[in-house]
């Protein structure tokens, strides 16, 4: 009787293993991805690839009521211009970790993405942390001053703008 149970167990494990192997190798649902630098260095001509990077701060342009976006993707070193048509998730914000799938348009040098996945910035809290609310070095204000002393009067001028 034990032989029977062993056989059933073995068959069960084998079927799961087989399904996993088939799933990973054939289903096309496992995707390799590369970083922006790796893409620019060796994979420029790949017709369909996933590229991972962060949204460069302040580069998001939302067009057509949010149906289309253009932004710069960075790995901290190199940058890649990306264009995507479609609805983006709420997690798609400055410095969000994104994966885009598509190919490079050789004429314009823009990455045309047909898929876009975004994850929250790894440190949401950094919004007022070391990098400061006012951006890094744009001369708009000093993050430390802004954080320590509320409402410095010289920038607090504009009311409603229309």
Residues 30-69 that bind another protein (CB under 8 A): 30-34, 50, 52, 57-58, 60, 62, 64-67
Q: What are the tokens at 61? A: 């342009």
Nearest in space to 50 (alpha carbons), one of 95, 108, 113: 113
Could you tell me the smallest distance in angstroms from the CB atom of residue 105 to another protein?
23
Nearer CB in complex with another protein: 106/150: 150
Nearer CB in complex with another protein: 105/129: 129
Residue whose structure tokens are 């253009």: 70
Instruction: State which of positions 64-93 bind another protein (CB under 8 A).
Output: 64-67, 87, 89-91, 93
Contacts of 75 (CB under 8 A, 6+ apart): 35, 36, 37, 53, 54
SS (H, E, C) 59-126: CCEEEHHHCEEEEEEECCCCEEEEEEECCCCCCCCCCCEEEEEEEEECCCCEEEEEEEEEECCCCHHH
State which of residues 99, 103, 110, 112 lies at the interface with another protein (CB under 8 A): 99
Nearer CB in complex with another protein: 105/114: 114
Instruction: State which of positions 103-142 bind another protein (CB under 8 A).
Output: 117, 119-120, 122-125, 127-129, 133-135, 138, 140
State which of residues 23, 42, 76, 109 lies at the interface with another protein (CB under 8 A): 23
Among 21-29, 41-49, 74-82, 102-110, the segment contacting another protein (CB under 8 A)? 21-29
Q: What are the tokens at 95? A: 């410095």
Neighbouring C-alpha atoms within 13 Å toward the C-beta of 113: 26
Could you tell me the smallest distance in angstroms from the CB atom of residue 107 to another protein?
28
């Amino acid at each position: 009787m034990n032989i029977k149970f062993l056989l059933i167990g073995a068959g069960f494990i084998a079927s799961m293993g087989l399904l996993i192997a088939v799933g990973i190798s054939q289903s096309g649902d496992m995707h390799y991805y590369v970083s922006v630098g790796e893409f620019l260095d060796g994979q420029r001509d790949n017709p369909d690839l996933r590229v991972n990077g962060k949204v460069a701060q302040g580069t998001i342009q939302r067009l057509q009521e949010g149906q289309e976006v253009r932004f710069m993707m960075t790995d901290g070193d190199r940058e890649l211009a990306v264009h995507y048509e479609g609805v983006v998730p709420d997690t798609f914000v400055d410095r969000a970790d994104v994966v885009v799938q598509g190919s490079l348009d050789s004429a314009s040098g823009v990455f045309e993405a047909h898929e876009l996945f975004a994850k929250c910035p790894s440190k949401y809290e950094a919004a007022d942390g070391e990098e400061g609310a006012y951006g890094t070095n744009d001369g708009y204000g000093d993050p430390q001053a802004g954080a320590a002393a509320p409402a410095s009067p010289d920038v607090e001028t504009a009311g409603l703008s229309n």
